[in-house]
Amino acid sequence: MSLRAFGNWLESTSLSHLIQTTHGAIADIQVVHIICLATLVALALIFSLRIAGRGLAVESLASLAGRFLPAMWTCIALLLLTGSLLIIAEPGRAIANKVFYIKMALVAVAVVITLWLAAVARREPERPRTIHVVAAGLYMLIWAGIIVAGRLIAYSV
């Protein structure tokens, strides 16, 4: 099945039809998507700052990671769920769009870095190592890139 055929099939499903025909559903799903994104970006920022020895530095990295990572994974799961609903509702916006694939590639990289930084936090280094601080900075740039790509999808349909 080609991508176009898959998109057409997705668009013909009853779920896609339900979202398309429910007034305000797409906008409201996007609102939930953005609220989850804002929460995740702030948690990632504070987590990254802590890796660099800043922010909530009075708390140990392992303790902060233990509190923040479950919330971050919950946000990522909700983002994937709401993002999937948006794709099901309007497959044409995503499936044939290069920017969408750039966004998804960045999301995959962000997930891998989250797993890595989580492992670093569990080992709890006494002092932040340069490579971890650089990774934390890169991590935030990747989230910024995901937001930019997400917004540019609308302009490159």
Contacts with other proteins by CB under 8 A lie at: 24, 26-28, 30-31, 34-35, 37-43, 45-46, 55-59, 67, 144, 147-148, 150-152, 154-155
**Smallest gap from residue 18 Cβ to other proteins (A):** 18
**Smallest gap from residue 59 Cβ to other proteins (A):** 6
40/88 with CB nearer other proteins: 40
56/118 with CB nearer other proteins: 56
Residue 73 falls in which region: left (phi positive, over 0), alpha (psi -120 to 50) or beta: alpha
47/88 with CB nearer other proteins: 47
Alpha helices in the chain (DSSP H): 3-12, 14-21, 25-51, 61-89, 91-95, 98-123, 130-153
d(CA 127, CA 61): 10
